[in-house]
Amino acid sequence: MPVNHKRDYYAVLGVPREALPEEIKKAYRRLAHQFHPDKNPGDKKAEDRFKEIGEAYEVLSTPEKRETYDRFGHAGAPQRGFEGFSGFEGFGSVFDDLFEGFFGGGRGRAAAYRGADLRYNLEIPFGEAVEGGQREITIPRLEACPTCKGTGAKPGTQRSTCRACRGSGQVRYSQGFLTISQPCGRCGGEGWVLESPCGTCRGQGQVRLERTIAVKIPAGVETGTRLKLSGEGEAGTRGGPAGDLYVVLTVQDHPLFARQGDDLFCEVPVSFVQAALGAELEIPTLSGRARIKIPPGAQSGTEFRLRGKGVPNVRGYGRGDLVVRILVEVPMRLTPRQRELLEEYARLENGDGHPQASRFWEKVKGLFG
């Protein structure tokens, strides 16, 4: 009794015995593409491997044959090889899957294509980003030709069936032991040709036009925010949907406020006297003016938070705060009387009023003795 030296079909495809049909098909396509004779011309080992892969897939992709193989092994599997052209008879499904993997299932006419997405950069003022608004923008884009309504044919004429592929969009030719399908070169896979192209679009079915589009700007947007306008991109081809328009925002700086998330920050200078004695200040906000009280002895950098005076959250989750940071300003010029009073103050102070300075010099003394 002759010994069967064939490898296990599951090992040939590199899948486990419990593999699902989709896993088997995926493994077959990958390996068939790798070892296809067209990719390995003159390589006898690759050709033999390609035949082995096809034989394994022909068995494992058919439920009845796979069940028989699982029970009896190669003794129960059909003994038919990939020898010569006649060896491909009965393996139609195998090559259907292979063609689908190579050419994307391209047996029908050319598919519809979605239109390209477009990007528009829009700069807006700080206040408009905070409160929201509406802008009109003008963009150039490809649209269906208004003369031929996107058909590409001259009005009053029709497209003709391609004689080369008889309307299928595909032509077949033999290469070695394979019969290969590919898009028709005459019609580009469309299945039809234009005998009388449209004079406006020259048969393309599309023209570039400028359109003015209204853009709603939500409150709370910031630099880098992308607004998506569905279907406002370029027109699709062969009946495909239009692309989308993305409006990318850049927000101008504000002369007084800096933004971090939904919070606003503002630095307010105060005098030495105001910081020492305390004061009530009127400060700016986005909605007008507000007042804050500075306690006596306030230090430079002290922050005061005004709740709800910041930027509205773009998703509607409330509003941020306004953080006011005071900066104590030392006078650069003094009158004689001011200098006299400050010198008197210097003679009277005993250091108790400067806790930060006292702690600093204590640390210096501890370090250097």
Q: Are 130 and 312 in contact (CB under 8 A)?
A: yes
Query: Among the residues of the chain, which ranges form H helices?
Result: 9-13, 21-35, 44-60, 63-72, 92-103, 126-131, 272-277, 336-348, 355-368
* Phi/psi at 191 (5° precision): 90, -5
For 291-347, the pLDDT digits (tens) are 999 999 999 999 999 999 999 999 989 999 999 999 999 889 999 999 999 889 888
- Per mean pLDDT, which range of 32-46, 92-106, 247-261 is the poorest? 92-106
**In the chain, what percentage of residues exceed pLDDT 70?**
85
Nearest to 280 by CA among 267, 296, 256: 296
Show the domains of the chain with their CATH numbers: 9-103 (1.10.287.110), 110-152+202-253 (2.60.260.20), 258-368 (2.60.260.20)
CA 91, 56, 24, 173 torsion-angle sign: negative
CA distance 300 to 73: 86
**Higher pLDDT, residue 196 or 353:** 196
Residues 6+ apart with CB under 8 A from 325: 265, 266, 267, 268, 301, 302, 303, 304
Q: Each residue of 13-22: pLDDT tens digit?
A: 999 988 888 8
Indicate the DSSP class of residue 293: E
Q: What is the pTM of this model?
A: 0.59
Rounded CA gap, 236 and 93, in Å?
Answer: 33
CA distance 126 to 257: 9
pLDDT score of 45 more than 50: yes
- Residue 126 near residue 254 (C-beta atoms within 8 A): yes
pLDDT value at residue 149:
85
Q: What is the mean pLDDT of residues 287-294?
A: 93
Please tell me which residue, 352 or 138, carries the higher pLDDT value.
Answer: 138
* Residue whose token pair is 């700080």: 126
Question: What is the DSSP code (8-state) at residue 235?
Answer: P
- The sign of the CA dihedral 33, 34, 40, 45 is negative
Average pLDDT of the segment spanning 212-236: 94
